[in-house]
Amino acid sequence: MAAAAGVACVRVLKRAGRLSLVAGLLATLAACAGTTQMVEGQRPTAQRPTLDQVAPDFRHLAGWIDDDHAQAVPALQRTCGWVRNQPPGKPLGPLRAAGTTDDWRAICAAARDLPPGDSEAARRFFEAFFAPRDVANGEDGLFTGYYEIELRGSWTRTERYNVPLYRMPPRGKRGLPTRARIEAGALKGKGLELMWVDDPVDAFFLEIQGSGRAIMADGSVVGIHYGGQNGHSYYPIGRHIIDRGDATPEQMSLQLIRRWLKDHPAEAQRVMNLNPSYVFFKVKPEVGARGARNMELTPGRSLAVDAEHIPLGVPLWLEVRDAPVPGGAIKRLVVAQDTGGAIKGPVRGDLFWGHGPQAEEGAGVMKARGRYTMLAPRNLSVETAQRK
């Protein structure tokens, strides 16, 4: 679907359609703590199983018995929606341990019958049908965050709503224009205006996040989804802000970039134009962020990964530290549902936080270190599951 690349957890979504602008800038980001939610998901203490009730190969996963596994079931069921529409024997991805669509038929049948909200049933389901597989080789990696941005829009241009969002134009022999040329009017008058919004900085960050929702002037709410990209490489403007001495790498965050652009209105467009990449959009009546394979994302349970290393659709046990949550640690079951142009490497992830102010705050500063463990279908032989 769509992805973003770039800031404090930003992205130009590419996912087989989504390009993530996220980490381009994140490469220049440094840890920054915040206090947000994102700690939900732990089961009540009274429901906590004892260690001997947990499958032996799951006992080494730190925090496994404390998670509310039912919260990850909807994300896994969306994997099953994709499996249902695929031909027999199709691999889920590059690792044989993830199996094929045939291996997932029984898993999906059982997932369909899980009682909603039943954490114990969900835990037993995951332990029965999956086995932990180390895909990190003991190494840590970078984990950032992204969110669904909210804009204010209009179907027609007005004095207030004067910033266009464009739909994907046809590609000519010369390719598509850069951001600077588009902002100078290269697409003006071609009937490509999708809608008009009231803030150029919001429009820029919509590209970074890859999808969002618009509160229209007529009171309706529509989903804005990734529709394509102009083919030019992404440049993280946070790097420019650091290079000119207005921030340090340790201070860098999505919020700082937004604040800098607002505080420097005379320079904002020129600086945004330093990034030649430009994202186009399409509108759908339903709201809610979608990732690769058009899967609806689940706040706190959907993770963007590098699909060259981690198969899309598989469950992952995530363990990170120094995250912007109370206590700093996130230990929970997530599902690989997205990709991103800046999400590269065998241990790299971008956690979806949802939408709203708290999601923006948490995603904007998240730069955690940690690892994940893939849950592979048990109906594969150990020999097959360990081969790539």
Higher-confidence residue: 34 or 109?
Answer: 109
Longest dimension (CA), the chain: 68
CA distance 200 to 182: 13
Indicate whether 285 pLDDT > 90. Answer: no
Mean pLDDT of 279-297: 86
Give the CB-side neighbour count of residue 226, counting CA atoms within 13 A: 38
DSSP per-residue letters across 178-206: PHHHHHTTTTTTSS-EEEEES-HHHHHHH
* Alpha helices (H) in 30-114, listed in sequence order: 73-84, 101-112
Indicate whether 183 pLDDT > 70. Answer: yes
pLDDT tens sequence across 314-351: 999 999 999 999 999 999 999 999 987 778 999 999 99
* Domain boundaries, given as residue ranges, for the chain: 4-32+148-284
Helix, strand, coil percent content, the chain, rounded in steps of 5: 30, 25, 45
* Strand-strand pairing, 193-197 and 279-284: unpaired
CA distance 316 to 135: 10
Second-level CATH architecture of 4-32+148-284: Beta Barrel (2.40)
List the one residue out of 267, 146, 271 whose CA is nearest residue 208: 146
Indicate whether 33 pLDDT > 80. Answer: no
Contact indicator for 363, 75 with CB cutoff of 8 Å: no
DSSP conformation class of 233: P
- Stretch among 24-28, 100-104, 123-127, 167-171 having the lowest mean pLDDT: 24-28
Q: What is the pLDDT of residue 46?
A: 55
pLDDT tens sequence across 96-135: 999 999 999 999 999 999 999 999 999 999 999 999 999 9
DSSP conformation class of 177: P
> CA separation (Å) from 337 to 26, 64, 153, 263, 297?
20, 21, 28, 36, 7
Contact indicator for 93, 293 with CB cutoff of 8 Å: no
**pLDDT confidence of 74, banded at 50, 70, 90?**
very high
Q: What is the pLDDT of residue 45?
A: 56
Phi, psi of 276 (to 5 degrees): -70, -15
**Other CB atoms closer than 10 Å to residue 167's CB: what's the count?**
17
CA distance 224 to 1: 12
CA distance 9 to 115: 34
CA distance 232 to 290: 23
